[in-house]
Structures are given as structure tokens and as C-alpha cells.
């Protein structure tokens, strides 16, 4: 950071991170049981019901989107990665559910007043600079009908920063290994991730950076984007506390 200017990521920075390697380790990082449980949390927190239109921004390979469709929601998933969307479509076909997948940028959505609910799950918010992150929220608000709900799931900054940086996680699938190294930048309030993939005799490195917002910042941004009320929950939809691992923000239009 220089002269107080915090740079976010561009789409060309982000897309290489969400590659076939990301899919390869998907069920190791988030087991099917974990995905089933998270789908149930989203269903309850957003008060979803069968037949209601729902939008997932940054849907990835459809691990949540397709499960919501199985529960009866009418779901559209948007993502920037053709590789992940192809996997999502294949999984939807295997499950026998009808989901519309759209290649696109969450900062510029084609829908207005269409959905009862929208959500960004598993740290899919905060990639860009502050101006573009707030643009994502305005676009999400515009896509929702009056009374619609937006859910954002993100690490709890207060808990995250308690741990000494860097933080390292190692995942293994057969002989393949994924190493995630997180470093916190306290000047920019961004978390910087270096990912090292060791697979099929090759080593690949990718990087991702995301902004760490506190709840009061979410309230300010979401109200500015057009939402009337904003609520906080901890992981699994419980009470949010200082040491909650995750923050769930629910905004009502």
C-alpha cells in the first residue's frame, strides 16, 4: 500500500486461482457432509422456500447451488470461471436438477428486481478495492425484489487477526497436496493467500487477496447500497461473538 491507496484484484488476477486444481481438492476441503450442512444453514438463514428465485454470486462448481435446487429453490448461479461452471453444470445434470449457470462479473449483473434472495458464500466477497466491492453490493441490491434478502459469509476479522501470521493449511488428496498460506496486511485490512499445488509431478502457485470488513463496515456499505436492515450471525447461523470463526451478514431490502 502506498499513500493510503489500497489496490484490489482484477478479474485477470482472480480467474487463474479458480482452476481445475480448485475443483480437484473441492471435496477434501469441503466434504459432501459439510456442503449439505451449509446448504441447510443458508436455507434457514435466508428463509427460503420451494419455488422461490435465488441467486448465488460466485457460485463456483455448484456445490451449494445444486443442493439448493434439490431442496426446491429456483436457482441461478453466476461465476467468472468457465472451468468451474462446466463442473457445476455436469453436477446439476448428474443430480437431475435444473439450474441456470451464467458466466459473468458480479460487479455488473443483468437482473433487476428478480430474486427473493441472493448470497455470497465461502469468502466470495472482498476481492476488489473498496469502490468495486461496494458496487457488488449495489448490484446485488438491484437484483432483489422489495423485501429480498442478501447473505454474505466471510471470515470474522476479529478472530482471524488473533492468529499469528502467516497461517498455513495443508490438504491432501491421494498423492496430491494443496498448501494455503495466509498473511494478514494490517495496513490495508486485506488477507493475502498464496496457494501451492503439488499435483501430477508439477508445482503451481496462485495468489488471492480479499478485504477483511468488520460488521460495522458492512452495515454502512449495505445501507448505502439500499438495504434497510442488517443482521449478524456466527457460523451455522448462531449468535455472532468476538471469537466466532465466521461472520454471516444478512441484509433486508
B/e letters for 151-160, b = 16+ CB within 10 Å, e = fewer, are bbbbbbbbbb
- List per-residue pLDDT tens for the chain, 253 residues long: 444 455 899 999 999 999 999 999 999 999 999 999 999 999 999 999 999 999 999 999 999 999 999 999 999 999 999 999 999 999 999 999 999 999 999 999 999 999 999 999 999 999 999 999 999 999 999 999 999 999 999 999 988 878 888 999 999 999 999 999 999 998 999 999 999 999 999 999 999 999 999 999 999 999 999 999 999 999 999 999 999 999 999 999 9
CA distance 182 to 142: 33
CA distance 88 to 171: 22
Which contacts of 94-97 are long-range, i.e. CB under 8 A and separated by 24 or more positions? 95/66, 95/69, 95/70, 97/66, 97/69, 97/70
Task: Provide the Cα torsion 203, 186, 235, 48; round to 10°.
Answer: -90
CA angle 170, 171, 177 (to 5 degrees): 95
CA distance 48 to 40: 10
Backbone angles phi, psi at 114, to 5 degrees: -110, -35
Position 6 scores a pLDDT of 59
Position 57 scores a pLDDT of 98
Position 3 scores a pLDDT of 47
**Residues paired with 182 in a beta bridge:** 167, 193
Domain boundaries, the chain: 11-252
Give me the sheet containing 53-57, strands edge to edge: 100-103, 74-79, 53-57, 115-120, 144-155, 246-252, 229-233
Taking domain 11-252, whether its CATH number is 3.30.930.10 is answered by no
Residue pair 196/205 in contact by the 8 Å Cβ criterion: yes
Give, to the nearest 10 degrees, the angle between helix 130-143 and helix 215-225: 50
Radius of gyration (Cα) for the chain, nearest Å? 18
Position 81 scores a pLDDT of 97
Amino acid at each position: 500500500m502506498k499513500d493510503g491507496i489500497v489496490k484490489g484484484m482484477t478479474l485477470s488476477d482472480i480467474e487463474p486461482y479458480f482452476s481445475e486444481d480448485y475443483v480437484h481438492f473441492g471435496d477434501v476441503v469441503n466434504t459432501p457432509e459439510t456442503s449439505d450442512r451449509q446448504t441447510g444453514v443458508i436455507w434457514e438463514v435466508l428463509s427460503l422456500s420451494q419455488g422461490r428465485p435465488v441467486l448465488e454470486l460466485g457460485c463456483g462448481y455448484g456445490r451449494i447451488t445444486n443442493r439448493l435446487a434439490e431442496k426446491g429453490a429456483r436457482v441461478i448461479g453466476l461465476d467468472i470461471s468457465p472451468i468451474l461452471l462446466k463442473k457445476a453444470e455436469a453436477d446439476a445434470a448428474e443430480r437431475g436438477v435444473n439450474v441456470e449457470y451464467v458466466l459473468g462479473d458480479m460487479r455488473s449483473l443483468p437482473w433487476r428486481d428478480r430474486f427473493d434472495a441472493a448470497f455470497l458464500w465461502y469468502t466470495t466477497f472482498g476481492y476488489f478495492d473498496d469502490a468495486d466491492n461496494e458496487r457488488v453490493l449495489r448490484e446485488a441490491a438491484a437484483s432483489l425484489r422489495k423485501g429480498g434478502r442478501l447473505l454474505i459469509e466471510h471470515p470474522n476479522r476479529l478472530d482471524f487477526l488473533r492468529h499469528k501470521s502467516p497461517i498455513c493449511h495443508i490438504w491432501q488428496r491421494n498423492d496430491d497436496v494443496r498448501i494455503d498460506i495466509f498473511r494478514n496486511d494490517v495496513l490495508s485490512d486485506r488477507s493475502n493467500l498464496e496457494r501451492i499445488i503439488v499435483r501430477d509431478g508439477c508445482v503451481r502457485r496462485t495468489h488471492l487477496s480479499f478485504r477483511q470488513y468488520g460488521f460495522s463496515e458492512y452495515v454502512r456499505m449495505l445501507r448505502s447500497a439500499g438495504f434497510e436492515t442488517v443482521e449478524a450471525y456466527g457460523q451455522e447461523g448462531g449468535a455472532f461473538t468476538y471469537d466466532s470463526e465466521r461472520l454471516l451478514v444478512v441484509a433486508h431490502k
